Amino acid sequence: MEFSSIRGQFPILDQEVHGHPLVYLDSAATAQKPTCVIDAVSDFYRRDNAGVHRGAHELAARSTLAFEEARAKVARLVGADSGEGRDEVVVTGGATASLNLLATAFGNASQGRGGKAAERFALGPGDEIVVSEAEHHSVLLPFQELALRTGATLRHFGLDDEGRILSADAGQVIGDRTRIVAITHVSNVTGAITDLAPIVARAHEVGALVVLDACQSVPHMPVDFHALDVDFAAWSAHKMYGPTGVGFLYGRRNLLEALPPASFGGSMVELAFLDRPARYMDPPARFEAGTQPVAQLIGAGVAADWLMDLGMENVAEHERNITDRLLRLGDIDGVRILGPTSPEGRIGTVSFDVEGVHPHDVGQFVDSRGIAIRVGHHCAQPVHRHFGLYASNRASTGVYNTPQEADALVEAVSQVRHFFKVD
């Protein structure tokens, strides 16, 4: 795999920032877009733009076809089914929207909506929802709110010293009353890949549903939801080289069929009346109220195809080499990696603390050399508390990064404490 040619497909990377070539190490926040994705969105608006699943005209037909083809491509990337009434991928506005959709639908089921079929999603006092200390707020908060709404109890997996989820505790953390386990596949702070097998096995043993946050895994490694045996999963297109404004909820087909809707309006109803409740459409339409993000999904489909052409094993291998170099940050005096310190079992999202220097100062110092990293709590405060911090610095890789860029960051960070006179 020749990764040097890939970089040329990202026009945004061909620029200088503060007189230095741009080094973009913030792909965990959002990835840059290859020309094929940018062109697909622009071509759609130039040639085909129309609302989908309605209207008898040619542009509506073309848009609908392209929309459903894009859904199928995204499904293929994650090993999900699509087409002919088997669709397992719901199109949403992003991972946060997907997780809120799910938590709201479970809440609706808990209030008796969705009839007998939805009873398996219903929660009440004494039931338990399990998360982990590593969760992004977009997982923690919707499920915490669900617990508050239903009277269920929120429990969590703890982390080891390197920030790995303590999956071996599954037998104690997941109990007979656990109904939902909502857990991250890869932490957006530590980069650690969760050992899911013991968690999924235990959850299913007690009849609980597993909801996976796949935001940080899908763009970086091979992911197959059937093989992982999870029940639901959420992720965003913009981190996998697709457009912003679109994301996905995967659900096993039989579960999506039983799940009540969470938001209501156009495009999701078969029959609507003034004097009796509506009859809603089958999934995925039941969960896609309103005008869909058509151009964005088409861009995401192109991104999914592009990633599959590269091969996710190749992507993982390429990024592993860069991760190896980024982890040299841990060799700098006063710098601590918040996460696994070897490239095994992790991705190239490397958070670090520079003793005595505020993350915003670190961020600005490296930015002055054209290097883009993220600073703050990365929407994951509990994991920072685990490390005794409120905020950190985070470098994160994409397919376009080079080992030399990782070296440039390490070199810049090695000067930070001296510059701020804390060494």
**Interface positions with ligand PMP (CB under 6 A):** 28, 94-96, 136, 138, 184, 188, 213, 215-216, 236, 247, 379
Just list the catalytic residues: 379
Closest CB to ligand PMP among residues 235, 400: 235
Residue 195 beta carbon to ligand PMP: minimum distance, rounded to whole angstroms? 17
Residue 385 beta carbon to ligand PMP: minimum distance, rounded to whole angstroms? 17
Encode 315-373 in three state secondary structure: HHHHHHHHHHHHHHHHHCCCEEECCCCCCCCECCEEEEEECCCCHHHHHHHHHCCCEEC
Closest CB to ligand PMP among residues 110, 184: 184
| Alpha carbon distance 298, 305 (integer Å) | 11
Closest CB to ligand PMP among residues 136, 318: 136
Q: What are phi and psi of 5, to 5 degrees?
A: -75, -20
Give kind and range of the element (H or E) at residue 173: helix 170-173
Q: Which residues contact 274 (CB under 8 A, 6 or more apart)?
A: none
Burial of 207 (0-12, 13-18, 19+ CB in 10 A): exposed
Residue 177 beta carbon to ligand PMP: minimum distance, rounded to whole angstroms? 26
| Alpha carbon distance 248, 233 (integer Å) | 8
| Alpha carbon distance 220, 215 (integer Å) | 10
- Please state, in angstroms and as integers, the Cα–Cα distance from residue 325 to each residue in 24, 186, 189, following that order: 15, 20, 18
- Please state, in angstroms and as integers, the Cα–Cα distance from residue 167 to each residue in 100, 224, 347, 393, 407, following that order: 25, 20, 18, 26, 33
SS3 404: helix
Closest CB to ligand PMP among residues 28, 50: 28
**β-strand 335-337 against 349-354: which pairing, if any?**
antiparallel
Closest CB to ligand PMP among residues 29, 60: 29
| Alpha carbon distance 417, 298 (integer Å) | 46
